[in-house]
Structure 1
Amino acid sequence: MKHYWWKILALLLLLYGIIAGLLGPVPALPIVHETIRNVYFHVPMWFTMFTLYLISVIYSIKYLSSNNPHHDLVAVESVNVGVIFCTFGLLTGMAWANFTWGAPWPNDPKLNGSAIATLMYLAYLVLRNALEEEQKRAKISAIYNVFAFPIMIVLMYILPKTTDSLHPGAGGNSGFGQFDLDGSMKAVLYPTAIGWILTGIWLMTLRFRIRKLEYQNHTVSE
């Protein structure tokens, strides 16, 4: 049981986040109204994606210094799962934007930056599949990953804060935290985000274990 406590915690936090996110009190804000509840689902997707991409770049650096193939497997599987959460982040954001701004994809620097960052990580996966030799594939993709991560941070978090953006907390706009005076949303958002992050890591470890077995079988067969 001591090895599974964090998985149980992840499930409990997700259950809490879904129930409290749909039924709990939220501040009455103009324009967004009840759609502000989407923050409990949209924002944790990005937090989880960011965490997985961070794990990926850490293990890419570890691979470059050790040439341990298991580090490369952790890096690629972190990106694989991170792209899934990125997709959910885009979809929940588009649904919210369609209600709030009247279009699922308005011309917004944060949305455009997110699209470019997503294509950049999809290119990482395409690059890996295009290279057949294992060590060459692992090394080139690790170098690519090391450069992709800071570019993603610039595109999604730095540039929107310095330009005109529709997003709260970017382009000089106030974040939702300014209106949530009683902290009720934070009491739901932060535990929910932790639950999704733990779930993302859980999925990544499952994929890593599968890839590790495939790698070992491939090595034995050779």
Structure 2
Amino acid sequence: MKKHWWKILSVILLLYTIIAGFYIQIPSIGTNGQTSRNLVFHVPMWIAMYTLFTISVVNSIRYLASNNLKMDILASSAGSVGVLFGVMGFLTGSLWATYTWGGTLTDDPKQVSTFIALLIYLAYLVLRMSFTDLDKRAKVSAIYNIFAFALLIPLTYIIPRMQESLHPGSASTPGFKSSDTAHTLQMVFYPAFTGWTLLSVWIYTLRVRYKKLALKNILHG
């Protein structure tokens, strides 16, 4: 029980996030209105994505330094779960845009650049499936993973903040500040941040266990 405390914490925090996220009273922020509640779902999913992609690229570097296939398993598992949360972040953002920007898919710089970043990581998963040789797959995908991560921050954070955009936090649009939210959204946002990240790591550990068993069967089967 003690070693699973963080999983229990994840469940508790996410239950709180879902219940409070829908029922807590929040102020109307600009044109967002009550859609601001999506902040506790959309943004934490991106944070979970960043966390998993960071774990992925670190283990890709570790693989290149050691040629240990277990590092490749850690990298690929984190990459696939990171893509999952990235897609959920994109979908929740697109749903938000439907009600505040008047369109689900727009030419907003933030939406376009994050879509490109996700395509790059989806290509990473496709690339891995194109190899049958384990060592070659691990090496090529590790190099590609480093390239993908090098583009991730510029595409999803730096470039969009330099452009005119409807997205909060861009060059011309203010972000969500404590003075705007009256601390009500923050009461849910930070637990949501922790809960979604813990959930992503939980799924990641399950993925790692599965892939280690698969590798063991290949090597010893």
Q: TM-score range by the shorter chain?
A: over 0.9
Tell me the CA shift for residue 30 of structure 1: 3.1
Gapped runs of 5+ residues in structure 1? none
SS at match of 1:75: helix
Q: How much is the aligned-residue C-alpha RMSD, in angstroms?
A: 1.1
Q: Percent identity?
A: 48
* Post-superposition CA distance 1:159-211 (Å, at most 9, x none): 01111111101123211115435322112101111100000010011011011
State the AA in 2 paired with 1:18: I
Distance in 1 (CA, whole Å) between partners of 2:180 and 2:19 is 19
Mapped partners of 2:178, 2:169: distance in 1: 10
Counterpart for residue 34 of structure 1: 34
The residue identity in structure 1 corresponding to 2:175 is G
| Structure 2 counterparts to residues 112-131 of structure 1, below 5 A | 112-131=112-131
What SS is found at the alignment partner of 1:211? Answer: helix
Could you state the TM-score of these two structures normalised by the residue count of structure 1? 0.96
Distance 1:97 1:68 in 2: 43
Q: CA deviation at 1:45?
A: 1.0
SS of the aligned residue for 1:26 comes to coil
**For the residues of structure 1 that align with 2:32 and 2:179, how far apart are their CA atoms?**
12
Are the aligned partners of 1:27 and 1:179 in contact in 2 as well (CA < 8 Å)?
no
1:159, 1:172 → 2: CA distance? 13
Which residue is 2:53 aligned to? 53
Counterpart code for 1:10: S
Q: How big is each residue's C-alpha offset from its partner over 1:2-55, in whole Å with a ceiling of 9 and x where there is no partner? A: 110000010111011111111112122232111110111111111111111111
List aligned pairs for 1:38-187, cutoff 5 A.
38-177=38-177, 179-180=179-180, 182-187=182-187
Question: Displaced runs of 4+ in structure 1, greater than 4 A?
Answer: none
**Rounded Cα–Cα distance in structure 2 between residues aligned with 1:55 and 1:185:** 28
Instruction: Name structure 2 gaps, 5 residues minimum.
Output: none
Could you tell me which amino acid in structure 1 is paired with residue 69 of structure 2? P
Instruction: Read off the aligned partner of 1:40 and give its amino acid letter.
Output: V
TM-score, normalized by length of structure 2?
0.97
Preserved CA contact (<8 Å) 1:44 1:197: yes
Three-state SS of the structure 2 residue aligned to 1:85 is helix
Aligned length: 221
**CA contact under 8 A between 1:161 and 1:170: conserved in structure 2?**
yes
